[in-house]
Amino acid sequence: MEILKNISAAFWSPDIWLPPNTTWADLNPTPENKLTDYRHLIYPIPMSIVLLLLRYVLERCWFAPVGKSLGIKNTRPKKAPPNAILEKAYTGKKIKHKQVLALAKQLDYSERQVERWLRLRRSQDKPSTLIKFCENSWRCLYYTYSFVYGLTILWDKSWLWDINHCYHGYPFHPVSNDVWWYYMISMAFYWSLSFSQFFDVKRKDFWQMFIHHIATIALMCFSWVGNLTRIGSLVLLVHDCADIFLEAAKMAKYANYQKLCDFIFTIFTVLWIVTRMGVYPFWIIYSTTIEAPKIVPMFPAYYIFNSLLSLLLVLHAIWTWLILKIAYNAFYAGQMEGDIRSSSSEDVSDSLVNASLSNNTTDNKGKLNSREKQL
């Protein structure tokens, strides 16, 4: 126990987490001075359960009926006939030709019969278009709420108009109730994504996205503990904006409104470039890297926080290249459709953003090639 106490004391050393000459005792929240309280980080977990229940109700009572009214069907593909040997060999991924030949010989099937069974089996794992429409509708609704709510509560905050106010008086920044809810609900949403990922549409980047959600939560917790909520709230606001149109474009695609999909995707592309490659680096990163050291004495935890924000910018640059590539090919194809999307898996568009805060983190990764099929 003594060893654990020493490790904990070293990890939570104020020399690491706080500016010079500041201790944890200085940051104890009081009724008069509502600073961040690390104990509140437990609240987003039960709140995420509420969000999951809300999503369940909305999908069945609102999103699904709307999808059906748009002509989106909930048809399921034909099931593959039961076969224990083939089921055992099935992994969800493409099976090598040699293994197909071995299975055909073992079962006294033709190669074509084995391939057909595997094709039918893979189609069983694919969700219906209506299910995907409902998932995107939920995300679109959340991102719309989050952006509108964030913009509303930050409109009268000094740091929205002068980002240097994120550092004046740091770390003694009280957290108002509206900012508290903004943070708690955002963390609850990412907790809900972490839980729902196990029964949502299964994507090839399952574990990458799971790590992304956890990393996002970790980054938000990091900024909460360090009372960096002002800059954190700006990061959230910047990232939610484009995500609305990404999800809306996918919804239009599933409803077969191709021209609307193209139009919304164009808006998404413009907003993505403006916010992720314009506002984010030239306003937020510039501020945290150039302006902040002039106002606040630097400390180790701040360097870590800023490094993660900078890493996110690198990921943004990669995703921007992908988006521009999709837009370029779509321009010559005449619409957001065709080989580009179909040549990749449907994984990444969700992450592209999710990218979002931590995205940060997040976000990442294998998904890169998959974004194309989504739209």
HEC sequence for 40-64 = HHHCHHHHHHHHHHHHHHHHHHHHH
Closest CA relative to residue 150, chosen from 173, 177, 179, 175 = 179
- pLDDT for residue 358 is more than 80: no
Contact predicate 359/212, CB 8 Å: yes
* % pLDDT > 70, the chain: 84
Rg of the chain taking only CA atoms, in angstroms: 24
The whole-angstrom separation of Cα 171 and Cα 190 is 26
Closest CA relative to residue 369, chosen from 204, 126, 194, 125 = 204
**CB contact set of 114 (below 8 Å; sequence gap of 6+):** 86, 100, 103, 104, 107
Contact predicate 265/375, CB 8 Å: yes
* pTM score over 0.95: no
Q: Is 21 exposed, middle or buried (0-12, 13-18, 19+ CB in 10 A)?
A: exposed
Contact predicate 267/252, CB 8 Å: no
The whole-angstrom separation of Cα 326 and Cα 336 is 8
Locate 244 and state its tokens.
């609305």
| pLDDT for residue 348 | 37
The whole-angstrom separation of Cα 238 and Cα 230 is 13
DSSP string spanning 272-323? HHHIIIIIIIIIIIHIIIIIHHHHS---HHHHHHHHHHHHHHHHHHHHHHHH
- pLDDT for residue 278 is more than 90: yes
C-alpha torsion sign, points 122, 128, 131, 133: positive
Q: Could you state, in order of their start, the residue ranges of all structural domains in the chain?
A: 38-71+128-374, 84-125
The whole-angstrom separation of Cα 109 and Cα 133 is 38
Quick one: pLDDT band at residue 44, thresholds 50, 70, 90? very high
Contact predicate 295/164, CB 8 Å: yes
Q: Is 260 exposed, middle or buried (0-12, 13-18, 19+ CB in 10 A)?
A: middle
pLDDT digits (tens, 9 = 90+) for 227-241: 999 999 999 999 889
Q: E-assigned strands of the chain?
A: none
pLDDT digits (tens, 9 = 90+) for 114-161: 888 887 877 776 778 898 899 999 999 999 999 999 999 999 999 999
Quick one: pLDDT band at residue 47, thresholds 50, 70, 90? very high
Closest CA relative to residue 232, chosen from 295, 180, 299 = 180
User: Residue 162 gets which letter from DSSP?
Assistant: -
- pLDDT for residue 342 is more than 70: no
| pLDDT for residue 360 | 36
| pLDDT for residue 286 | 95
Closest CA relative to residue 342, chosen from 373, 369, 366 = 373
**CB contact set of 249 (below 8 Å; sequence gap of 6+):** 261, 264, 265, 268, 336, 375
